[in-house]
Structure 1
Amino acid sequence: MRFSPRDNAFFDLFAADARNVRDGVRLLSQALASDADRAALAVALKEVEHQGDEHTHDIIRRVNSTFVTPFDREDIYRLASALDDVLDDVDAALDLMVLYRVGDLPAGVGDMVDVLDRAAELTAEAMPRLRTASELTDYWIEVNRLENQADQVYRRLLARIFSGEYDALTVHKLKDVVDTLEDAVDGFETVANIVEQIAIKES
């Protein structure tokens, strides 16, 4: 099956994929509540992650069966992979919390997840507008700002984790979780950067 550049197939697929990523981040956010059932939320997030894999496969299959794509094939592959990577990191962060049986988390973890939540919302809003990527300047600027904000939170978290407040084993557990959250934030920046590159090429 072949589609012209005016067809909505790829844009619809990326929009659905970004909404799925947003859903995953929301589950992670719920896991920070004091009364959260993290194990149950981790199972639900794993299902979202599997759905994300299906979205990625659908996009790749569409590329391989389409003669004319709306933008460079390589950029389509990169964007699909970047969205998949973000969701993998979100899933891994919650999985680590469950596997490590992490109890109370430093307050800064909530700040990082808030950044993730905002970046996920912005990305879900941006993907349906990929057909006019040049109009998404505010999107990639804001995601880059959020990533810089998350870097500051990350450094404060590391200082707190290594302050001597926690025993060595807990330090290791918390650092793994925080590093994975940082990777997820960086992943959203990668998505935004790819969108910016698409806009430049299409301008």
Structure 2
Amino acid sequence: MAFRLTPKEDSFYELFGISAGHLVQAAKELTNLLAVQTPEDRKTVVDRMHDLEHLGDEATHEIMRRVNASFITPFDREDIYALASKLDDCMDYMEEAADLVELYQVDELPKGVAKQIEIIGRMADLTSNAMPRLRAMQDLSEYWIEINRLENQADKHYRRLVANLFENSDAIHVLKMKDIVSALESAADAFESVANTVEGIAVKES
């Protein structure tokens, strides 16, 4: 029977799961944003998104604190920092998109935005489901392969969305909508960065 001479800080797995769980909730709030009818309802959704962003920041800061306080970590410190930071990026871009909807006082989003948010929701679910599997570093390849596929789908959809936007003669409207759809595209890119980081960690630990 083998004994570990130095304890390993395993709470990182739980914190990564918590952080990814906030992303799932944020994706649901983006979906809710599509259905709001009044400025008051829109503000309520955006306020919930701000709360989730704060919770995400707290989880990220706790991960960083534990990295600095732990003598032994489950995998490379640099990879822990990178994964925590990239999960935080996903939240930041989703919050940015929601914030812009409120700041620009958008009454109706282009129909194609629903597809963007649907893809982001799927990416958030996959990411949340993958975090517990970091502990064993097993059964993760399907996760990053599917995330990469979804990101390619998001790219194509984003390009179509932007092309459709430029058919509108109202330049200010086009600029506002492009900011929002670009933030959502950045969120999809950020989820792919998380998956790429997980792949790199899995390769190192295999």
Bucket of the pairwise TM-score, normalised by the shorter protein: over 0.9
Offset, 1:117: 0.2
Identity level (%): 50
Determine the structure 2 residue equivalent to 1:183. 186
Q: Report the equivalent of 2:69.
A: 65
1:126-175: CA deviations, max 9, x gaps? 11111122420000000000000001110110111001x24010000000
Provide the TM-score with structure 2 as the length reference.
0.93
Normalised to the residue count of structure 1, the TM-score between the two structures is 0.95
Structure 2 residue 40 is the aligned partner of structure 1 residue 8: no
| RMSD of aligned residue pairs (Cα, Å) | 1.2
Task: Name the structure 1 match of 2:108.
Answer: 104
Partner of 1:169: 172
SS of the equivalent of 1:132 reads coil
Q: Deviations over 1:70-127 (max 9, x none)?
A: 0000000000000001101100100000000112111110000000000000001011
Q: Is 1:22–2:21 an aligned residue pair?
A: no
**Whole-angstrom CA distance in 1 between matches of 2:169 and 2:134:** 45
Tell whether the 8 Å contact from 1:82 to 1:191 is kept in structure 2 after alignment: yes
Verify: 1:93 aligned to 2:97, yes or no.
yes
Contact 1:21 / 1:86 at 8 angstroms: preserved in 2?
A: yes
SS of equivalent to 2:196:
helix
**Gapped regions of structure 2 (runs ≥ 5):** 1-5
Q: Give the whole-Å Cα distance in 2 for the aligned partners of 1:109 and 1:39.
A: 19
What secondary structure, in the 3-state scheme, does the structure 2 residue paired with 1:172 have?
Answer: helix
**Partner letter of residue 101 of structure 1?**
Q
2:201 is aligned to 198
Distance 2:93 2:169 in 1: 24
In 2, Cα distance between equivalents of 1:116 and 1:49 = 16
Amino acid at match of 1:19: G
- SS of the residue corresponding to residue 31 of structure 1 reads helix
Name the CA distance, whole Å, in 2 between partners of 1:191 and 1:34: 30
- Give the Cα separation in 1 of the matches to 2:69 and 2:18: 19
Q: 1:34 Cα deviation (Å)?
A: 4.8
**Which of 121, 136, 140 lines up with 1:117 in the alignment?**
121
The within-5 A match list for 1:40-79 is 40-79=44-83
What secondary structure sits across from 2:136 in the alignment?
Answer: helix
* Contact 1:4 1:70 survives alignment (8 Å): no
Q: Distance in 2 between matches of 1:34 and 1:61?
A: 38
